């Protein structure tokens, strides 16, 4: 393994994620929502709602955390739990009218802010970045990473 390039790549990935997170968090916090709350609002926007399991898979928020975030959004009257029409034992989480209004107001603003960050990108730039990200994702998806460190501790 080429440690120099490997470590530089991991560092750039982390720095990119941190920069994106700071940028989006700054915009999202202006809405009065946390990043996770906004993620749920954005995911539920333009949908009839989702089960908690689907919502967790779409947002990548863990089950325990998801319940608390949904509770806080419910307290703000932005989401509601309704019985599932397919299974009376389960629930559907959906936006309330106030949640839909917030989504309709805030989501386009965030997209506009994100779009401004990419103002100078050409089609070839998007294609290059998308390909690099797809290749990098495939490394993590396809690689069987052993959770144990080698027996010698390395």
pLDDT tens for 124-149 read: 999 999 999 999 889 888 765 555 44
Q: What is the CATH number of the domain that holds 10?
A: 1.10.10.10
Alpha-carbon distance of 50 to 61, in angstroms, equals: 14
Q: Enter the pTM of the model.
A: 0.75
What is the reported pLDDT for 153? 46
Per-residue pLDDT tens over the stretch 9-27: 899 999 999 999 899 888 8
Split into its structural domains, the chain has a count of 1
Give Cα 19 to chain centroid, integer Å.
15
C-alpha 49/C-alpha 34 separation (Å) is 20
Q: Is residue 25 part of a domain?
A: yes
Is position 147 within any domain?
no
What pLDDT sits at residue 71?
96
Q: Give the C-alpha separation, 59 to 44, whole Å.
A: 10
> How far is 22 from 130, CA to CA, in rounded Å?
21
- Domain containing 24: what range? 3-142
Contact 39, 32 (CB under 8 A): no
Q: Let me know if residue 148 belongs to a domain.
A: no
Give yes or no for a contact between 73 and 40, defined as CB atoms under 8 angstroms apart. Answer: yes
């Amino acid at each position: 393994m080429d440690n120099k390039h490997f470590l530089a790549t991991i560092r750039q990935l982390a720095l990119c994620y941190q920069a994106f997170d700071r940028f989006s968090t700054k915009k999202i916090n202006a809405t009065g929502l946390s990043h996770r709350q906004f993620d749920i609002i954005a995911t539920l926007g333009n949908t009839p709602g989702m089960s908690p399991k689907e919502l967790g898979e779409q947002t990548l928020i863990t089950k325990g955390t998801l319940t608390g975030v949904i509770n806080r959004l419910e307290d703000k009257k932005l989401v509601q739990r309704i019985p599932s029409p397919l299974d009376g034992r389960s629930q559907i989480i959906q936006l309330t009218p106030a949640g839909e209004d917030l989504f309709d107001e805030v989501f386009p603003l965030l997209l506009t802010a994100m779009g401004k960050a990419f103002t100078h990108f050409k089609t070839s730039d998007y294609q290059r970045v998308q390909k690099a990200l797809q290749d990098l994702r495939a490394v993590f998806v396809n690689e069987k990473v052993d959770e144990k460190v080698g027996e010698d501790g390395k």
